């Protein structure tokens, strides 16, 4: 696998089902009010114009420099990805106009978009590992589980993601907020071997971000012939 620092750009499709879940919409039960769905569709269409999906990534054969969490003997790929600032700017404008429902809906769509960029960049890692003896493990991020949020600084020092417009605050929060940082340890194993799903090793059973594969389809989506599943 290549060790050079690379920048990737993506043309993504935002997963609407993921956005539904973040908004608290239930898999079963009644379809949300038509007024809510109209706002959702309006902001969903607008969101695609606001997303500028990018990622910077780099491989290390000796862990993450400066990290006490990633074993220094472990090969790892480190990534920072983002959808850019435009969607967050619109959310702030909507809040300023007291259009809070639109703001909440668009913010959730933005979170779904950011996770899609993380998934797409993770797919690149899996594709690069496929012809090798590396097996990508589940991706992990500072601030989750036992990985201290302060180790964001190690990721930023290693990747310098300012090139894609992502910076770090004094409290180790990323700006723009709709950004994701993560590391993928590379275990030795069969070519292409690895975890099937990012949620596989997570113990947060009721997390809004948890994916359920095909079961994530919402029962009410076809009630009015929804063509945009």
- The contacts of residue 145 (CB under 8 Å, 6+ apart) are none
Domain membership flag for residue 183: yes
What's the average model confidence in pLDDT over 15-32? 83
Helix, strand, coil % (nearest 5) of the chain? 40, 15, 45
What's the average model confidence in pLDDT over 141-164? 95
- For residue 228, the SS3 value is coil
Tokens 């983002």 belong to which residue? 82
pLDDT averaged over the chain?
Answer: 85
Domain range for 187 is 6-201
- The contacts of residue 3 (CB under 8 Å, 6+ apart) are 58, 59, 60, 61
Task: Give me the pLDDT at residue 45, please.
Answer: 96
pLDDT digit string, tens, across residues 46-72: 999 999 999 999 999 999 999 999 999
Domain membership flag for residue 221: no
Structure tokens at 33: 């009010």
Domain membership flag for residue 226: no
The DSSP annotation for 56-71 comes to EEEEESS--TT-SSS-
Structure tokens at 105: 């809906």
CA 45 to chain centre: 19
Say how far apart CA 105 and CA 36 lie, in whole Å. 9
Domain membership flag for residue 76: yes
Instruction: Report the percentage of the chain scoring pLDDT > 90.
Output: 66
Domain membership flag for residue 207: no
pLDDT digit string, tens, across residues 86-124: 999 999 999 999 999 999 999 999 999 999 999 999 999
Which one is predicted more confidently, 67 or 206?
Answer: 67
Domain membership flag for residue 214: no
Domain membership flag for residue 28: yes
The DSSP annotation for 169-188 comes to -TTS-EESSSEEEEEEEEEE
Query: Starting at the edge strand that comes first in sequence, how are the strands of the sheet with 53-60 ordered?
Result: 6-10, 53-60, 76-82, 179-188, 134-136
Task: Give me the pLDDT at residue 220, please.
Answer: 64
Domain membership flag for residue 193: yes
> CA torsion 221→222→224→227, rounded to 10°?
80
Angle (CA) 52-58-64 rounded to 5° is 120
Whether residue 142 is predicted with pLDDT greater than 60 in this model: the reply is: yes
Task: Give me the pLDDT at residue 170, please.
Answer: 96
Longest dimension (CA), the chain: 55
- Domain containing 28 — which CATH number? 3.40.109.40
pLDDT digit string, tens, across residues 161-190: 999 999 999 999 999 999 999 999 998 754
Query: How many folded domains does the chain comprise?
Result: 1
């Amino acid at each position: 696998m290549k060790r050079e620092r690379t920048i990737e750009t993506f043309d993504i499709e935002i997963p609407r089902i993921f956005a539904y879940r973040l908004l608290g919409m239930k898999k079963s039960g009644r379809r949300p009010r038509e007024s809510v769905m109209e706002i959702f569709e309006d902001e969903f269409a607008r969101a695609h114009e606001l997303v500028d999906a990018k990622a910077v990534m780099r491989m290390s054969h000796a862990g993450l420099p400066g990290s006490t969490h990633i074993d220094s003997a472990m090969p790892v790929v480190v990534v920072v990805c983002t959808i850019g600032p435009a969607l967050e700017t619109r959310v702030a404008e909507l809040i300023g106009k007291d259009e809070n429902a639109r703001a909440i809906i668009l913010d959730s769509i933005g979170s779904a978009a950011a996770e899609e960029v993380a998934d797409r960049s993770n797919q690149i890692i899996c594709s690069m590992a496929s012809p090798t003896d590396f097996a990508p493990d589940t991706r992990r991020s500072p601030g989750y589980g036992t990985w201290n949020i302060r180790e964001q600084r190690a990721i930023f020092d290693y990747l310098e993601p300012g090139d894609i417009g992502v910076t770090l605050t004094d409290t180790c929060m990323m700006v723009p907020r709709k950004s994701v940082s993560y590391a993928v340890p590379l275990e030795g194993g069969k070519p292409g071997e690895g975890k099937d799903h990012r949620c596989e090793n997570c113990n947060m059973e009721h997390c809004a971000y948890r994916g359920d594969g095909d079961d994530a389809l919402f029962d009410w989506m076809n009630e009015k012939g929804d063509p945009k599943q």
